[in-house]
A = this chain, B = another copy of it.
Amino acid sequence: MSRRHHEVLRLAVDLVILTVRDRSFQVLLIERGNPPFAGQLALPGGFLRPGESLEEAAARELLEETALDAGSLHLEQVGAYGHPDRDPRGRVVSVPYLAIAPNLPTPVAGSDAIEAQWRPVEPVLASPGKLAFDHDDILRDAVEQARRQLEYTTLATRFCGETFTIGELRDVYDLVWGMRLDPRNFNRKVTRTDGFLLPTDAKRTPETGRPATLYRRGPADGLHPPMLRGRDLS
């Protein structure tokens, strides 16, 4: 088992930053300025640096590319992608991270002058082949991971601001899952699940209609019983 047999490589940390904005489920993509894949869209990311843990690298990249503070955001690993030909520059294994962002008032601007843009997720998933590297695969897996977590965790609240209405939370489910949930049943479900939501005294009046109670995210991470979507898995 000589050391000569061991592949020496670099490790990329890519970011799948998801949000709900303009009543649409969107992902942050950058346009690559340099080869390989110059001019194509890609997930933001960068290489692991000496002394960094994987999660530290993800947080650093997040700050560099979007000026978002990882301390306030949900950040979780998606897996590892290591096909030998995935990067034409040489052997690079990617460990992508999924980040969930609330709809941000400030426009996203990368510190290193990279053109970053929010794109609706669905068209990108529907016609793969447009993203650089194997980022289509990574995006697909990360989105599926997020969709699943809406079922049995309180992840949906990470898409919302500090306080939010049940209608906003329902929009997250509707848009991320791409299906309409019954507003009345949804209301009961989330208000009766212990630790999901903490009511506040404030209310918010929509453009038209009755004012809605504002909530903030509760201490629970898991959902029991889970939120159900249709029987579409096999």
**Closest-CB distance, A7 to chain B (whole angstroms):** 5
A107 located at the interface, meaning its Cβ lies under 8 Å from any Cβ of chain B in the complex: no
Copies of this protein in the complex: 2
A35 located at the interface, meaning its Cβ lies under 8 Å from any Cβ of chain B in the complex: no
Interface digits, A145-173 against B, CB 8 Å rule (1 contact, 0 not)? Answer: 00000000000000000000000000000
A51 located at the interface, meaning its Cβ lies under 8 Å from any Cβ of chain B in the complex: yes
A11 located at the interface, meaning its Cβ lies under 8 Å from any Cβ of chain B in the complex: yes
A22 located at the interface, meaning its Cβ lies under 8 Å from any Cβ of chain B in the complex: no
A-to-B contact residues, CB < 8 Å? 1, 5-11, 46-54, 77, 79-84, 91, 93, 95, 112, 195, 220-222, 224, 231, 233-234
Give 10 A-B contacts (CB < 8 Å), ordered by A residue. A1-B46, A5-B49, A5-B50, A6-B48, A7-B49, A7-B50, A11-B93, A50-B91, A54-B80, A220-B234
